[in-house]
Structure 1
């Protein structure tokens, strides 16, 4: 339902204010008590607004003034294929949430599964271990209410599968579970209980709640008989296992891409913080209903142009708000009417329910989501569906209007699971270009690599319980990406080492120019990244844990000022080139120019930035606007690499490229790597990467003498 305040604004223009802009402005809730009353009444818009305000630190219980405003406008958007009405809610001059207006559980899940064509039509591959659900399925089929005593059994090796398939060949599919371990450590497979789980099994009542719910749900799927759960299908560490868990871990992690990609379905305990909570959350039936409103668009710029040639022709509309809702399929009541029938959709609904849910903050789960053919999310209040064709919720069972806010505008959102270069990859590239001409439009596999850029940038923000899993947690995606996207191109050059610790050998130079984007708090820049030098070499983004993530380097072979001559990698598991590496034993041989610099900490209140550097040999400038200190700098991990500020740290600047390539030529910088000299031998000097810096054309011109006074040499970058 909608409250009187929202209905008054949308239908009758109640509280309309004068505005010289293209939008219509209205007073919304002016007191916090008024918003709380609408919340109690169940208003779908105000419920989201209240949640958003409380999340932003606004105390709604103090009974004070609120002074919310609503802004209604017509938005077109270069990327949007339809017109939308945008409804924004504004508090103290800032948009807090955006809405857009656009013209029973198992049965619904079963329908989504049956309609989806993303999974393989038959089971062609099995993991090494699976849980057999046959006994649970039999008990449930007999209609027995108490199935808590029913057992699941651990099966291993292909002979077990063949025996089962010969009995019921149509019920041979397996599903996987994505869950968060959390503080409640689930039941695990260890060396000393493996035989017991295979021969005697384990009763449902002895498993954590999330596992129980998953087994019960999976046993109702007609074609499913097996379940794969990481904690019960991979040997975990225990006392006296003589390294069995480590050996098994290397074996299983090498096929993780197949475990998820070949599954029938991935079940995700999306909302559950750990395995003790379960899949099924309290359902909010009111949140499942579509809210409709007769939207009054009189007074909107271009509203006259929306008259349809036919009364039966439908429009798509959209409303922006501080929260994020949409008005669905609008039908005009007459050719001259200023009323549009709209359905309200929360633009941020998918983010709130899925993207920001506990399980999806985990690095491993990100890989699972990308690799699984389709996912059934058990969210807070409802189930949702995700595959490469569409995303659905119970409110929008045929697919949600997939929009997102980007730089204040409504644009069409990319499907996370789409790996199509000429569709999703092209859209990503166009978004980075932001209307500029593409200087690398003829670069082979450019749109394919744009998909990889997005994958890494998102993954680099995810959490890992075990920091050493950074590369292995992405190895399944990397392997899949190589086999089905890169290797599928017959023109792909042959490389001895196609994958280099999170980077690709093709266009490797430009990929080395990734950077850590600082975050700003109270107008001050902060970088709390932590370096793990044992798990990856310094030239790889995988050497860092950065809560804010990294900006991946570009893919280009143009405007580069150095060259990678050779690559040396050392793998912990020699048979898996997409897996773990010995971070200190991997290096690149570069041909580059180096200039020594002095790195220093700055007073942010005075300089505006926390760090700066200057060329050691540069003479003092007589230009009053140039002091020789360069502050456009992105250090990888200033806390971990604190020795770079000490006297005699031996820091060097390496001119690397002209970029960003997606910017206008007049707006490109000289991009340089910052390196620390760690030693030298007869073959050359050895360096560690510590960051990246950019010089504007003005700074480059002022430093021309220092830049020209260099010569090319061969160096090792570890």
Structure 2
């Protein structure tokens, strides 16, 4: 028997022995099917066992299909392998114990001679012979047939070598189903509508190439079915390399069919994602808007607010600086999934599943850089208006909707990327609380404007259109009136901003020049908005008034 399996059986025996499932009452324990998981946060048996006896066994864990062993291997930093060779003996110890009241799965390196490291206890740091790494914290309240447990077990069996793998998209399917079925605040009451054009990726058999579809040409019988009229939107960076577009001269060709090989890598990945999630229609701006038609651009650009709001969800290629980068990234996904361990009673009469996920400061949960997609001005509108987002960001796939956010490593309680890069988006919620005071919402709106004005945009003349799309959404959710870039209830505050032209630091200019230039504004040669309107600049304006009235939530 593998040592990782033996470790789980030992825990199961302790659970059985201590009657952690039903306390002292074992009358129902005779059932052979897996029972409700014991609450390990209350009854946590402490146990440790040697998993690997030497470095060779530890290295072999890289190629094992066992998620637990792979997770242990990933805990070792690359730089540590050389130093580990200097020890006479290196044992890898697996341990379950309570840390700050939470059952935690840990891996420890036990060496000879001892590692001169510090191990943190509940009260004071003490000298230790072990180097300690956290493998996962207990996720409370999941039963054997919980949809997340079932999904994680399925993901552990599937290919998982990239963010476009079967396992990643199985997790995406779980999030989407949870959002549609289990989130009242995410209810889609606006299905049954399609934009002017969409990409029809074809039936599930994949025999037909993608094609541009004029939705007005759909048969009336199909257009009346809200179950079929759902679409996915794509949010992406165009980049410096030319990507495939639709023009007046290529419109007819696009409607006949688009060779998959002609699509950019990002578009290909978006088509694959849409197809694997069982959906048919995809909206991509460069293909669904006629790029050399001013009339079509003006007609469709003002609908973008509605398009992203009414999409079932939006695929966001967050890390891709251009179409050649794609959504999918190669990685070791098996080592990053939450661990679902089964603890068996000694006689196999009972079994309990327990899920352990990386702590929120775990490796790979959130790359330490601002996603390039979120530096673009147009994308703020897409972020803000999308009811749900499937975000491909580095080595993780993330989900965000009105109700929850998650990542592959923390499926139910991940951090929202918006919160990580700074900001608040509660104004987007349909059920934003009327008890929240005007000052808060006013401050939130102008913080959003700050975020917007420091983002880049290819055509400066588009800057007003993009921010107006956000304002449209806020206006439908509030009782305020939007007047040429300002809110009626907070009109004075809208003028109270300035552009910093110097830094509050001392020192030679050559030491401050680079930082100072990042603060300076870009006043555009083409005048497309009044100078008092902050979004007319590419800068970071600062309000000199910290609070004030703003768009208020609409009363029910």
TM-score (norm 2): 0.59
Structure that is richer in helix per residue? 2
* Aligned counterpart, 1:212: 268
Q: Which of 395, 398, 405 is 1:384 aligned to?
A: 398
Kept in 2, the 8 Å contact 1:425–1:451? The answer is no
Kept in 1, the 8 Å contact 2:234–2:283? The answer is yes
Q: Which of 205, 228, 231 is 1:139 aligned to?
A: 205
- Aligned: 1:477 with 2:470: yes
Please state how far the C-alpha of 1:449 moved relative to its aligned partner: 2.5
- Aligned: 1:509 with 2:492: yes
Residues 1:344 and 1:157: Cα distance change in structure 2 (over 3 Å): closer
Partner SS for 1:231? helix
- Aligned: 1:156 with 2:245: no
Instruction: Please give the alpha-carbon distance, in whole angstroms, between the structure 2 residues aligned to 1:162 and 1:39.
Output: 65
Please state how far the C-alpha of 1:102 moved relative to its aligned partner: 7.4
* Aligned counterpart, 1:468: 461
For these two proteins, the number of residue pairs brought into alignment is: 380
Instruction: Please give the alpha-carbon distance, in whole angstroms, between the structure 1 residues aligned to 2:399 and 2:372.
Output: 17
Residues 1:220 and 1:185: Cα distance change in structure 2 (over 3 Å): same
Partner SS for 2:170? helix
Partner SS for 1:218? helix
Kept in 1, the 8 Å contact 2:338–2:357? The answer is no
Alignment of 1:330-345 (within 5 A): 344-345=359-360
Please state how far the C-alpha of 1:284 moved relative to its aligned partner: 3.1
* Aligned counterpart, 1:182: 239
Instruction: Please give the alpha-carbon distance, in whole angstroms, between the structure 2 residues aligned to 1:539 and 1:71.
Output: 57
- Aligned: 1:541 with 2:534: yes
Residues 1:423 and 1:255: Cα distance change in structure 2 (over 3 Å): closer
Partner SS for 2:389? strand
Please state how far the C-alpha of 1:269 moved relative to its aligned partner: 1.2
Residues 1:123 and 1:169: Cα distance change in structure 2 (over 3 Å): closer
Please state how far the C-alpha of 1:381 moved relative to its aligned partner: 1.4
* Aligned counterpart, 2:282: 227
Higher relative contact order (CA 8 A, sep 6+): 2
Alignment of 1:193-272 (within 5 A): 193-198=250-255, 200-222=256-278, 224-237=279-292, 245-272=293-320
Partner SS for 2:188? coil
Residues 1:39 and 1:473: Cα distance change in structure 2 (over 3 Å): farther
Instruction: Please give the alpha-carbon distance, in whole angstroms, between the structure 1 residues aligned to 2:263 and 2:457.
Output: 24
Kept in 2, the 8 Å contact 1:119–1:374? The answer is no
* Aligned counterpart, 1:352: 367
Kept in 2, the 8 Å contact 1:267–1:376? The answer is yes
Alignment of 1:23-38 (within 5 A): 37-38=79-80
Kept in 1, the 8 Å contact 2:192–2:227? The answer is no
Instruction: Please give the alpha-carbon distance, in whole angstroms, between the structure 2 residues aligned to 1:226 and 1:507.
Output: 41
Please state how far the C-alpha of 1:249 moved relative to its aligned partner: 1.5
* Aligned counterpart, 1:632: none
- Aligned: 1:499 with 2:483: yes
Per-residue deviation, residues 372-421 of structure 1 (Å, max 9, x unmatched): 11010112112111112222111101122679999xxxxx9876466359
Residues 1:261 and 1:403: Cα distance change in structure 2 (over 3 Å): closer
Instruction: Please give the alpha-carbon distance, in whole angstroms, between the structure 1 residues aligned to 2:120 and 2:503.
Output: 32
Residues 1:39 and 1:400: Cα distance change in structure 2 (over 3 Å): farther
Partner SS for 1:276? coil
Instruction: Please give the alpha-carbon distance, in whole angstroms, between the structure 1 residues aligned to 2:174 and 2:211.
Output: 29
Per-residue deviation, residues 253-280 of structure 1 (Å, max 9, x unmatched): 2111101000111011122221122221
Instruction: Please give the alpha-carbon distance, in whole angstroms, between the structure 1 residues aligned to 2:498 and 2:408.
Output: 40
* Aligned counterpart, 1:285: 333
Please state how far the C-alpha of 1:290 moved relative to its aligned partner: 5.8
* Aligned counterpart, 2:28: none
Partner SS for 1:506? helix
Structure that is richer in strand per residue? 1
Please state how far the C-alpha of 1:370 moved relative to its aligned partner: 1.0
Larger C-alpha radius of gyration, 1 or 2? 1
Per-residue deviation, residues 190-234 of structure 1 (Å, max 9, x unmatched): 111112222x22121221121112112202223x22111000011
- Aligned: 1:123 with 2:138: no
Partner SS for 1:346? coil
Q: Which moved more, 1:374-383 or 1:256-265?
A: 374-383
* Aligned counterpart, 2:439: 446
* Aligned counterpart, 1:395: 409
Alignment of 1:1-16 (within 5 A): none
TM-score (norm 1): 0.46
Instruction: Please give the alpha-carbon distance, in whole angstroms, between the structure 1 residues aligned to 2:218 and 2:358.
Output: 52
Partner SS for 2:478? helix
* Aligned counterpart, 1:419: 428
- Aligned: 1:107 with 2:170: yes
